[in-house]
Copies of this chain bind each other. A is one copy, B any other.
Amino acid sequence: KNRGRLLISCLDQPGIISKISKFLFSHGANIIESNQYSINPHGGDFFIRIDFEAPDLIDKKETLMEDFQPIAETFSMTWELHLVSELKRMAIFASKDLNCLRELLWQWQNGDLMAEIPLVVSNHETARPLVEQLGIPFYYLPASKENRTEVEKKQLQLMSEYDIDVIVLARYMQILTPHFVASHPMKIINIHHSFLPAFVGARPYERAYQRGVKLIGATSHYVTNDLDEGPIIEQDTVRVDHRFDVDELKKMGGNIERNVLARAVKWHLQDRIIVHGNKTIVF
């Protein structure tokens, strides 16, 4: 397709949209959907996502980017241009609980997640049949606190070899080192099995059970070096009652986890998310 997406953030000032839209028009692009938001019109931050169509976009991409550079510099923009036809390359990291992995692969098969999945990495063999049956390479790299540095070296090598754009932690359950995180800033998406900031850290369902909450939730966020503190992309909750024990909370929660993660991944793949400080703008 000839569709592209422009994501921009900068300090707000008059005339930005006028400049951008004139630029797109003069390059033959027609805007299909655009969403813009400013935190504070007087010197606050400005964010825009533009979904557009232009003939021969693939050939024109380089020219467009060169021509946009001066505008970007004028307004000190942070910006990205993505082509819908250039699928993102997504690695999935999994562990023993296949709930989230399965949902992602399923939606991917259905054509709901527009990405390439060049590999799945896991510290357990559990997912191998599920993954290989779809023709996706599966890498078993047993990870633990002890061998973390060594394993991450191999993982980073794989990410580089397969030219990975985005890493999804589908209940991977291992903590990543700052070195790993720094290698893919705001490109690693995690699912935490609680409604953050409630129950940060380990065993959230057990703690939810102890606390006697009436709703349980899940949170998908970008990974930073602060555990469970990265920018939140999506959250959801579901009603439970006194009859649910920890196992039933987990089952109920698993359903929320996979839906929340799949939505967050889809929005990332559709270039709907702009990270701003420790928050996300989701257009």
Tell me, yes or no, whether A63 is within 8 Å of chain B by CB: no
Tell me, yes or no, whether A30 is within 8 Å of chain B by CB: yes
How far is B38's CA from A53's CA once the two chains are assembled, in angstroms? Answer: 12
How far is B41's CA from A28's CA once the two chains are assembled, in angstroms? Answer: 13
Tell me, yes or no, whether A211 is within 8 Å of chain B by CB: yes
- Within the complex, what minimum Cβ distance (angstroms) separates A158 from chain B? 28
Count how many chain A residues have C-beta atoms less than 8 Å from C-beta atoms of the other chain: 59
How far is B28's CA from A28's CA once the two chains are assembled, in angstroms? Answer: 27
How far is B151's CA from A121's CA once the two chains are assembled, in angstroms? Answer: 46
Interface hit among A14-22, A135-143, A171-179:
A14-22
Q: Quick check: B237 and A213 within 8 Å, CB to CB?
A: no
Tell me, yes or no, whether A35 is within 8 Å of chain B by CB: yes
The A interface is mostly helix, strand or loop, or mixed, namely mixed
Interface hit among A69-77, A87-95, A183-191, A195-203:
A195-203
Q: Quick check: B36 and A31 within 8 Å, CB to CB?
A: yes
Q: Quick check: B41 and A241 within 8 Å, CB to CB?
A: no
Interface hit among A78-86, A159-167, A275-283:
A275-283
A212 contact set on B, CB distance < 8 A: 231-232, 278-280
Tell me, yes or no, whether A224 is within 8 Å of chain B by CB: no
Within 8 A of B (CB), among A220-244: 231-237, 241-243
Choose among B24, B37, B233, B280 the residue that contacts A243 (Cβ–Cβ < 8 A).
Answer: B37
A282 contact set on B, CB distance < 8 A: 214, 241-242
Task: List 5 tightest A-B contacts by C-beta distance, closest first.
Answer: A212-B279, A198-B198, A18-B21, A18-B25, A17-B21
| 10 pairs, CB–CB < 8 Å, chain A vs chain B | A14-B28, A15-B25, A21-B21, A35-B35, A195-B195, A211-B278, A212-B278, A213-B235, A242-B279, A255-B259
Residues of chain A touching chain B, judged by Cβ–Cβ distance below 8 Å, are 12-18, 21-22, 24-25, 28-38, 41, 53, 99, 102, 106, 110, 112, 195-199, 210-215, 217, 231-237, 241-243, 251, 255, 259, 278-282
